[in-house]
Amino acid sequence: MTDTTSPGVGVNGILLAHQSQVEQAIVEGLKKLGIKTDGKFIPFLTPKQLAQLLNLSEKTLERMRKDGSGPPFTKIGNKRIRYSIPKLETWLKERTFQ
């Protein structure tokens, strides 16, 4: 996890000190998409939010869940799917090439 040396500005101008670059990008991406977080950093994303953030369809995320190629997810109850931002960050880093 890469920490920044200066705090990033998160949703609604709230300072989010020592966030990783991925977390900052997620917060800013949510803000640009108009997803309200009530000024709080949310630790989980819905499939719709993640699909918007990654520019994928929800159907693609569903297929990736079924075939095991997608980011780790948590199933809450029978139907609610959530993606943990720290696990998403790890998944993205594993797929980053220089």
pLDDT tens for the chain, 98 residues long, are 333 333 444 433 444 444 567 667 777 777 777 776 655 566 788 999 899 889 999 999 999 999 999 999 999 988 899 999 889 888 988 998 88
Q: Which H or E run contains 16? A: strand 15-16
List of domains in the chain: 1-39 (no CATH), 43-98 (1.10.10)
Q: Tokens for 17? A: 């000190």
What's the pLDDT at 12? 37
What's the pLDDT at 34? 72
Query: pTM higher than 0.85, yes or no?
Result: no
What's the pLDDT at 53? 86
Q: Which residue has the tokens 């000024």?
A: 39
